[in-house]
């Protein structure tokens, strides 16, 4: 059965909220990317997320809640974490904190912490309110592939594996949330960069915010990860992707992606992420354009790399591109 894409009418929202309460899966929009949601307190429903996405069991899920009060039912908040939630929620910041006993093991991959955030997208918030339950919701795509930022992306990848997709238009941020480990308020660590940067968080907290050290090979390959999105290869097209300082004039059998729109007419194998190279526009268009290039039937994709020293949102974009281009 092919998934049905639902428009966000009041009747459809009530229908999808009911499906979530029954333990079914619903793909929904957030401001970052589309998520595949299930009742976060229902272990069977969360197991269905892993099965639909073909996601490894050691890669934990992010739990989405309406507000801080609901989050404190699931995680042990310290004063610094409460300050962050009050400042940056709803929004693209995920906090990693000690879990409470009510959170099923499958959500945290058996780990002691839970990743949790409050999404800003109005439709995600309406579903959370109508369903009345926290929602575990990783990206709504087959594991490791390019994240979806439109409802049709979800249907293309999971259309034979789920029933419900809520159409909320194109995502406004376009890359996944910043993940901050705040279990030790004196030593906060960014596990995954995003729109909310290390400098922003450090200035707010008044302490240095470290970036995650590269994950070493675990003694046990199936050991739980601290947060999602930490694998060396992720967000990847099926076509081999190469990052280049300048994509120049690519051969006809290579799809080339520029950060800004090239001058003049562009051949069919040339794509661009922003008219002027604005990073916010690059982020919003990145996954959509990567999908277009992946579907072009080329032997390779060349993508103009971002400077490692750019900082800010460029750090998050460089992180996604590095993982997307990692060798199989």
Q: Does 212 have pLDDT greater than 90?
A: no
By the 10 Å C-beta count (0-12 exposed, 13-18 middle, 19+ buried), 79 is classed as: exposed
Contact (CB, 8 A) for 300 and 240? yes
pLDDT given at position 217: 42
Instruction: Give the separation between CA 193 and CA 215, rounded to whole angstroms.
Output: 15
Residues 86-140 have pLDDT tens digits of 999 999 999 999 999 999 999 999 999 999 999 999 999 999 999 999 999 999 9
Tokens 């993508």 locate to 303
Beta pairing class for 164-166 and 93-98: unpaired
Contact (CB, 8 A) for 288 and 259? no
Identify the three-state secondary structure at position 97: strand
Residues 272-289 have pLDDT tens digits of 999 998 999 999 999 999
The residues spanned by each domain of the chain are 4-211, 241-324
What's the rounded mean pLDDT across residues 289-307?
94
Q: Does 218 have pLDDT greater than 50?
A: no
Element (H, E) at 320: helix 313-324
Contact (CB, 8 A) for 239 and 300? yes
pLDDT given at position 221: 61
Residues 179-202 have pLDDT tens digits of 999 999 999 999 999 999 999 999
Fold classification of 4-211 is DHBP synthase (3.90.870)
pLDDT given at position 67: 98
Instruction: Give the separation between CA 105 and CA 81, rounded to whole angstroms.
Output: 22
């Amino acid at each position: 059965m092919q998934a049905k894409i639902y428009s966000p009418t009041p009747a459809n929202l009530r229908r999808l909220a009911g499906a979530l309460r029954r333990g079914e899966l619903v793909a929904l929009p957030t401001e970052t990317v589309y998520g595949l949601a299930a009742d976060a307190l229902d272990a069977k429903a969360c197991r269905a997320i892993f099965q639909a996405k073909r996601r490894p069991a050691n890669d934990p899920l992010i739990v989405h809640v309406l507000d801080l009060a609901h989050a404190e039912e699931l995680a042990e908040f310290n004063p610094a974490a409460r300050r962050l939630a009050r400042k940056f929620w709803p929004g693209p910041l995920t906090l990693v904190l000690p879990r409470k006993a009510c959170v099923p093991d499958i959500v945290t991959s058996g780990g002691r912490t839970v990743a949790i955030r409050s999404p800003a997208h109005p439709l995600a918030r309406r579903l959370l309110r109508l369903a009345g339950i926290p929602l575990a919701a990783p990206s709504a795509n087959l594991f490791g592939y390019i994240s979806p930022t439109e409802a049709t992306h979800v249907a293309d990848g999971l259309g034979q594996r789920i029933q419900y997709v809520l159409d909320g238009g194109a995502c406004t941020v376009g890359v996944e949330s910043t993940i901050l480990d705040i279990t030790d308020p004196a030593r906060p660590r960014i596990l995954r960069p995003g729109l909310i940067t290390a400098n922003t968080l450090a200035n707010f907290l008044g302490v240095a915010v470290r970036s995650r050290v590269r994950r070493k090979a675990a003694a046990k390959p199936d050991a739980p990860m601290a947060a999602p999105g930490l694998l060396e290869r992720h967000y990847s097209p099926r076509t081999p992707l190469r990052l280049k300082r300048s994509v120049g004039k690519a051969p006809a059998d290579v799809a080339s992606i520029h950060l800004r729109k090239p001058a003049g007419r562009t051949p069919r194998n040339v794509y661009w992420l922003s008219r002027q190279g604005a990073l916010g526009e690059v982020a919003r268009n990145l996954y959509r354009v990567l999908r277009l290039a992946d579907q072009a039937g080329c032997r390779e994709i060349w993508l103009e790399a971002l400077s490692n020293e750019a900082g800010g949102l460029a750090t998050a974009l460089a992180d996604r591109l590095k993982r997307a281009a990692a060798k199989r």
